[in-house]
Amino acid sequence: DAGVIQSPRHEVTEMGQEVTLRCKPISGHNSLFWYRQTMMRGLELLIYFNNNVPIDDSGMPEDRFSAKMPNASFSTLKIQPSEPRDSAVYFCASSFGDYMNTEAFFGQGTRLTVV
């Protein structure tokens, strides 16, 4: 298995533009997570899907952020409009079954720079 696949690996965009980050979880996994990592705040969970349904989106910063999971093999995280403070590394992770007792597999991340 190729693991969790994220695209793009790097994204540079201008303030105000729309940004879409993509994630393909590991086949057979039914939980998917989007994280954001910055030097100041460390790793923060943005949203958690289980069986394609958003379960916990309390970490989504504001209305400019939205996430979708139209099927078990694909998810997107969209930022519109983007701002310089959104610059961070965004990770997608997936796991199987109950997240409490199973490990999460992380992708390589998307490094987003908003100028």
> By CB under 8 A, is residue 45 in contact with another protein?
yes
Choosing from 60, 88, 109, 112, the residue that interacts with another protein (CB under 8 A) is 109
Rounded Cα distance between 58 and 65, Å, is 12
Choosing from 44, 51, 85, 115, the residue that interacts with another protein (CB under 8 A) is 44
> By CB under 8 A, is residue 56 in contact with another protein?
yes
Rounded Cα distance between 4 and 19, Å, is 20
Choosing from 88, 93, 112, 114, the residue that interacts with another protein (CB under 8 A) is 93
What count of other Cβ atoms lies within 10 Å of the Cβ of residue 38? 13
Q: Quote the DSSP letter at residue 26.
A: P
> By CB under 8 A, is residue 72 in contact with another protein?
no
Choosing from 1, 2, 42, 53, the residue that interacts with another protein (CB under 8 A) is 42
Return the structure tokens found at 98.
């109950």
Q: Quote the DSSP letter at residue 86.
A: G
